[in-house]
Chain A
Amino acid sequence: MGAFTGGLRRLNDPPILILASLASGPKHGHALSKDVQQFAGVQLSPGTLYGAITRLEELGLIEALAVEERRRPYRITQSGAAALASAAADMRRIADVSEHRLGRTPRVAL
């Protein structure tokens, strides 16, 4: 997964948060930032947000759409969706192992 997604791993990794946000539909920079703040409680700084957008676009995980009133929306590509699914599976596995070791019931069988 690492090579495919350019090393996306951590839960609060900005590229993962952006992919997760775009999974619900195309968004421009400000809408992305607000959505990430809402569902993850993470405030992406402007440098981090656009650094991640640049990186994801280079990797072909998101693509730019036509400009709408000077704002450019982005949408997740098929590769991006696959990378997000892979990252989510990794994170779920870690979460399940953690819950199991804490004596709680994991959501999937280990």
Chain B
Amino acid sequence: MSRRGEFDSLLRWYPRAWRERYAQEFVSYLEDTLCGAAPTRRFRASIALAGLRERSHDLGLVGTRRSASDQTRAGSLVVLGSWSLMVVAGSVLVKTAEHFAAAMPPSARSGAQLAYDAIAAAAVIAAAFFVAGALIVVPSFFRFIRSGGWVGVRTNVLRSLFALALTTTGLLALASWAHHLTAHQRNGGDPWYSGIVLTFALIAVATVALWTLSVFDVVRRLELTSRVLRIESTFAQGVAAMVIAISVAAGVWWHQVGEHAPWFLQGSPHGASASPITLPLILVGSAMAVSSLLAMLGVLRIVSAQHRLEAAARAH
């Protein structure tokens, strides 16, 4: 890659508006500073971090460069991202927890069952908030499409639709195949089946990620009234509360099952000595922790925007 091409690729860390304003002088500064030498790893990292920081400002995720409305929208989108991550982590947890009640001693079942029911209830409530939040922006979405907005979001949405079609078709085909297999074959006895299940699980995760990016892309462009934005941010705070509730309940469930039936978590024979710590649960736990953290950050952003709006109203 030529030095100029290298600089151009480094500039991609920055948002478009920043590049339009500073790219030319920044490249000439880099040329003056490096005098033809290749940028070091530290040099590149400095640019990448600064670019991400500018993007965060540009999206309204940090600082006060953007309006309080944009800040509210950014906070709500962070919560949406946290929910997407929770959907993936929660799906893995549900698969892991299949038939756990039967594996537990009856006297110790209630704690884990209660935690599992709390996870299910919180997931249903969060999904209801999510759907309600999507429904109230439908009129804005149609206005956006009618005013020619489709061109700007077409690529992302079509990619997401393709991924969704692929995932749905694959899962239907897998379900039909699984119907002809024994329980042993479905649970690791058939390497072909296991491999294809894993592949489609990864495709499903990619589909969730693509849809999340598409929603980000569309919502950022919608004209939302302050009333709609306020309702949207209330739903987002509801989703965030449920994300945190799911994480806590999942921790309780893990602790209860780990204490009373650790063999279930390892897939070992009933009563066998086993560690309650497994790689899938560590990954699920980490994803849930990150999801909860994102949910909290999103809420903090929304609350900080509300404070700005209140301060502005008081000043008037």
Residue among B18, B32, B48, B51 with most chain A CB within 10 A: B32
Which residues on the B side are within 8 Å of A67 (C-beta)?
24-25
Q: Is the CB of A47 within 8 A of B46?
A: yes
- Tell me if A4 counts as interface (CB < 8 A to partner B): no
Which residues on the A side are within 8 Å of B28 (C-beta)?
28-30, 69-71
Q: Is the CB of A70 within 8 A of B25?
A: yes
Which residues on the A side are within 8 Å of B30 (C-beta)?
46
Q: Is the CB of B25 within 8 A of A46?
A: no
Q: Is the CB of A48 within 8 A of B65?
A: no
Tell me the nearest residue of chain B to A72, going by C-beta.
B25
Tell me the nearest residue of chain A to B27, going by C-beta.
A70
Docked complex Cα distance between A54 and B23 (Å) = 12
Please give the number of chain B residues whose Cβ is less than 8 angstroms from any Cβ of chain A in the complex: 22
**Could you say which of B29, B47, B54, B65 contacts A71, with CB atoms under 8 Å apart?**
B29
- Tell me if A33 counts as interface (CB < 8 A to partner B): yes
Residue among A46, A49, A69 with most chain B CB within 10 A: A46
Contacts A29-B25, A70-B24, A72-B25 given; indicate if A51 touches B33 (C-beta within 8 A): no
Q: Is the CB of A46 within 8 A of B47?
A: yes
- Tell me if B50 counts as interface (CB < 8 A to partner A): yes
Chain A interface bracket (under 10, 10 to 19, 20 to 34, 35 or more) = 10 to 19
Tell me the nearest residue of chain B to A44, going by C-beta.
B46
Q: List CB contacts (< 8 Å) of B9-54 with chain A.
A: 18, 22, 24-30, 32-33, 42-43, 46-51, 53-54
Which residues on the A side are within 8 Å of B22 (C-beta)?
50, 53-54
Q: List CB contacts (< 8 Å) of A62-110 with chain B.
A: 67, 69-72
Contacts A29-B26, A58-B65 given; indicate if A50 touches B50 (C-beta within 8 A): yes
Tell me the nearest residue of chain A to B34, going by C-beta.
A46
**Could you say which of A30, A51, A54, A72 contacts B32, with CB atoms under 8 Å apart?**
A30
Which residues on the A side are within 8 Å of B49 (C-beta)?
47
Which residues on the A side are within 8 Å of B29 (C-beta)?
28-30, 33, 46, 49-50, 71
Q: Is the CB of A47 within 8 A of B18?
A: no
Docked complex Cα distance between A108 and B119 (Å) = 65
- Tell me if A24 counts as interface (CB < 8 A to partner B): no
Given contacts A28-B25, A29-B28, 6 further A-B contacts (CB under 8 A): A30-B33, A33-B29, A46-B33, A47-B50, A47-B51, A70-B28
